[in-house]
A and B are shown apart, each in its own frame.
Chain A
Amino acid sequence: MSEGIRLTLLFFSLGGVRFACDADHAEALSAVGAAEEGAFRLDLALGYPSPVSYREPTVLTLKGEGERRVVIDALEQIAEVGLEEIRPLPALLEPLALKRGIWGVLPRAGALVLLLDLDLLMKQRPFGNVSNDA
């Protein structure tokens, strides 16, 4: 990869933790409807210790085969960042973080934003269920 790579990221929060995912993976964003009961539970898939109460849920439909919908919370903004702004995870915890689709960290506005690859997460946890295999 060459220098000058820029990513368009979709920023959101879940249970007080800030995340961003690649907006190129997103097909659509929509309000939560009755049909979302079976949508992918991000909090469960990520291994939150207890279910998160969504404050401002939004349905993110992913590109690709099949109807893959993820309910995210507290959508903040869509913004472009340079690859050089992103930091790799410390080697100590990278293997486990990757199991949850977390591949990098973006320092932003005094906080750390976890970069989430939803495709990777859904491949590893296709039902969004929590299993204690850490």
Chain B
Amino acid sequence: MTASEEKLKSELLLEELKRRGRSKEVVDVEEERVKVMIFSCGPGRYAFLGSEVREVLPSCEICWVPGLPDYLPGLINVRGDIESVIDVGHFLGETRDRPFSGLIAMAVKGEFRSGVMIDAIEDVIDVPVSAVGPPLATLEGAVRELVTGTITLKGRTISLLDVGRLPAKVSL
């Protein structure tokens, strides 16, 4: 091999750096992430997938409909569309000691669409899919049926709720 054909050490190092860079890019692309909206409901913290929340509405008047169970407080008017409202706290075991004055998250999944009462939005973050763990084994009852996974954030474990499981809970 002639001197001109031999690569300089710097060239080899540069190639290696670039190879590593491409490799890192591939890793970044492959690391699928999901957006989650963390919210409070009573004293508890929960999350919905961002893809399952169409919008969050400020507190608005809920029209009570006679004969509905407590977890269906009524109807709201969203720019002319009439939507149902679910008090998800009922299923999560979170009680409210004063009249509701929080937000309404418009939850959508497949054919299901409804407003969901939440107290406040704590954060909206992207997390790697791999960071979503299985539901806590200690969950019981209706909560267990709504929770699809857990996220650990700043040392706190937050239950990720599956909007798609709400219709089964409120089936009449």
Could you tell me which A residues sit within 8 Å of B by CB distance?
Answer: 17, 46-48, 87-93, 95-97, 99-100, 102, 105, 107, 111-112, 114, 134
Contacts and interface: CB of A to CB of B under 8 A. Distances in A.
A8 B65 CA distance: 22
Contacts of A105: 63, 75, 82
B172 A112 contact: no
A114 B65 contact: yes
14 contacts: A17-B66, A48-B66, A87-B82, A88-B82, A90-B82, A92-B114, A99-B67, A100-B67, A102-B66, A105-B63, A107-B77, A107-B82, A111-B63, A112-B63
Interface string B110-122: 0111100000000
Nearest to A18: B63
Given A87-B81, A107-B80, A112-B82, A93 B66 contact: no
Given A105-B75, A112-B75, A112-B77, A92 B66 contact: no
A48 B67 CA distance: 7
Contact of B65 (A88, A93, A95): A93
A89 B75 CA distance: 9
Contacts of A91: 111
Given A47-B66, A87-B82, A92 B170 contact: yes
Contact of B66 (A46, A87, A88, A95): A46
Interface residues on B, range: 20 to 34
Contacts of A99: 67
A93 B72 CA distance: 8
Contact of B64 (A17, A87, A89, A90): A17
Contact of B84 (A92, A102, A114): A92
A64 B66 CA distance: 26
Among the interface residues B67, B80, B81, which one has the most CB atoms of the partner chain A within 10 A? B67
B172 A114 contact: no
A102 B65 contact: yes
